[in-house]
A and B are shown apart, each in its own frame.
Chain A
């Protein structure tokens, strides 16, 4: 229960932190970081309760100068040498009994029952108390009444307090709004209401200028940037993987594992070494191929340079046909090398029936004399490489059959099976 008499704490106003001795001392030492002018100053102060040392005298004086440093009381048990006559309790103004314990803190004396938390009137656990505006509080009440709350998570801040952007923060809660990196130790830059790290701020600025920021030195890249493993750099940070020469923007990034999206094994080469090292050369224009490579006919080609040998139109991924080291589109391959059906003279779409040096649509293979369809099982003869069914052959003039037999030993043959 609170004693309303003297514990009614006014809503405490932490004194302007610039006025704190600690802050003043830090400021007077001068910033140890080379902070440029655009650097937005912020303050850090410590709010660490001291764990009481065993009977240690209160020697950490400077800590007491900070209003939120805990203090440790000292017991004065045996003051036999001193006369108690002139000693009075700082709280109640009464004297002390001869054997009474006297509390001595920062040169003042109290009755033990008078040396209590201004809020809860209980003794201080382990003697740790916090002083503010002339009153002393236990750790719990001090935090409740005066400790700052984190702007991000709303929790009390015990220990390091980051005061920035007109609010208080846990160190681990004060982050760059773009990359989420902690800003407590690196400093930050206020950029249109956001706290950003130097890098992100530089990136935002460069983007506004249409430039890149080097991923290594974080400076703006005024000339041509070098792209490498998905980031941009000043080219001069790198050397050719082969000859070691310092690179310029013409350097080439080479994928070590083609086809893999991961680029973390990519390497950089100067243009000369790049051209020498098995980078595919187009079989048509003899220039290196940087983009998509078509591999066919034992060569590499620019997509737009891999063309039909007859009509010279690029295949662009459409099916091509190879013949004697040349590639042809479907139309010209069939026109020139004929998988045209001997009967309908069309490109054979489905299964191809090949026999007698010719090809047929499966359903167009027929006896050349009676036009009856034949299939894989039909026995047929050939006359001038035309298929003739057995019935028709037997109706040929006898003398013709004799001559054909003599000439071809025209044994009935089985039609070959259709091929794809």
Chain B
């Protein structure tokens, strides 16, 4: 039976009351999971008392208009999940990276051009979603690839042209999303991510792959290696046509090792930047 939502007695201040109501209710029942998505929130100040609710384990603020995150958010030290998807965030406080229990951080569809220095210090972070931002390789902090606990790193819809070889340090990485960046080349170190089972490379400017990729289990039923929308050299394109297991065999072959070495010294012509990307809404300041 659906219960009629209690009618707000402050219809003129709907924007405030929506978030406030959730917070009041959550405080009353000590709900550790806070759903504040799509509540027209633009600043943390609007969410009175939120930063005192230290017992909460999940904070979902997606589909709001938040521009900045206060360092004090890190005081909610029981948080395991912070979801800030689809906001207007341009900058993040370093303090988040010291949150002791934070496992899942969703910052997708925001306006990040960079991450704060030292941002890779997260002690237990497992899933970091940075899809649909404006990040590129030189916008990453130096310790970014030291997040050894990371299982999933989503960097799709960003502006990476190269992936730093330090990627190999993410030993536990199972999912790497790089869909629709400007990638021209992948480091051979990607072959050292032995637990990788999902690799999203669609819509980049790649022409060849490191042979080391063939060492990964690309064709199991749990694996998803997405390679469409690149300007592959003909032998790779041909094998891809036949199927991912054919490509994997080919990448491991002696023939390809020679081809690869030739590609390294005599780079194939780079395709132009992807179309449509400049219109990304997150680029509009």
Contacts and interface: CB of A to CB of B under 8 A. Distances in A.
Most buried by B among A345, A357, A384, A396: A384
Nearest to A336: B195
Interface in B27-73: 33, 35, 37-38, 58, 60, 62-63
Interface in A390-420: 392, 395-397, 399-400, 403, 407
B181 interface: no
A15 B158 CA distance: 125
A369 B38 contact: no
B151 interface: yes
A396 B109 contact: yes
Nearest to B224: A357
B203 A345 contact: no
Interface residues of B, number: 45
A395 B85 CA distance: 11
Contact of A357 (B37, B197, B282): B197
A14 B284 CA distance: 134
B131 A399 contact: no
B157 A400 contact: yes
If over half of A's interface residues share one DSSP class (helix, strand or loop), that class is named, otherwise mixed; here it is loop
A357 B47 CA distance: 37
B58 A392 contact: no
Interface in B104-140: 104, 106, 108-109, 126, 129, 131-132
Interface stretch (B8-16, B18-26, B237-245, B273-281): B273-281
B83 A371 contact: yes
A372 interface: yes
A399 B132 CA distance: 11
A85 B85 CA distance: 152
B177 A407 contact: no
B39 to A, nearest CB: 11
A373 to B, nearest CB: 10
A357 B221 CA distance: 8
B156 interface: yes
A369 B200 CA distance: 19
A277 interface: no
Given A369-B86, A370-B62, A384 B222 contact: no
A209 interface: no
Contact of A384 (B35, B104, B200, B228): B200
Given A345-B151, A384-B200, A385-B198, A395 B223 contact: no
A400 B110 CA distance: 13
Given A337-B222, A399-B281, A369 B62 contact: yes
Contacts of A378: none
B62 A392 contact: yes
If over half of B's interface residues share one DSSP class (helix, strand or loop), that class is named, otherwise mixed; here it is loop
B229 interface: yes
B227 to A, nearest CB: 13
A357 B86 contact: no
A386 B229 CA distance: 20
Contact of A399 (B83, B103, B179, B280): B280
A372 B106 contact: no
A338 B151 CA distance: 12
A406 B276 CA distance: 12
A66 interface: no
Contacts of A368: 85, 106, 129
B154 interface: yes
Contacts of B175: 385
Given A384-B177, A392-B62, A400-B132, A372 B198 contact: no
Contacts of A407: 202-203, 228-229
Nearest to B282: A397
Given A338-B222, A357-B198, A371-B81, A395 B35 contact: no
Contacts of B229: 407
Contacts of B83: 369-371
B182 interface: no
Given A370-B37, A370-B63, A371-B83, A397 B109 contact: yes
Interface string A333-345: 0000110000101
Contacts of A371: 33, 35, 37, 58, 60, 62, 81, 83
Given A384-B200, A392-B62, A407-B202, A370 B38 contact: yes
Interface string B161-194: 0000000000000110101100000000000000
B127 to A, nearest CB: 8
B156 A384 contact: yes
A333 to B, nearest CB: 12
Contacts of A357: 197-198, 222-224
Given A392-B62, A407-B203, 16 more contacts: A337-B222, A369-B85, A369-B106, A370-B83, A371-B35, A371-B81, A384-B154, A385-B175, A385-B198, A392-B86, A395-B86, A396-B86, A397-B282, A399-B280, A403-B203, A407-B229
Interface of B: 33, 35, 37-38, 58, 60, 62-63, 81, 83, 85-86, 103-104, 106, 108-109, 126, 129, 131-132, 151, 154, 156-157, 174-175, 177, 179-180, 197-198, 200, 202-203, 222-224, 228-229, 276, 279-282
Interface of A: 337-338, 343, 345, 357, 368-372, 383-386, 392, 395-397, 399-400, 403, 407
9 residue pairs, one from A and one from B, having the closest CB atoms: A397-B281, A371-B60, A384-B177, A370-B37, A369-B85, A357-B224, A395-B63, A369-B62, A384-B156
25 contacts: A338-B222, A345-B126, A345-B151, A357-B222, A357-B223, A357-B224, A369-B85, A369-B86, A370-B38, A370-B60, A370-B62, A370-B83, A371-B33, A371-B60, A371-B62, A371-B81, A383-B131, A384-B154, A384-B156, A384-B177, A385-B198, A385-B200, A396-B109, A397-B109, A407-B228
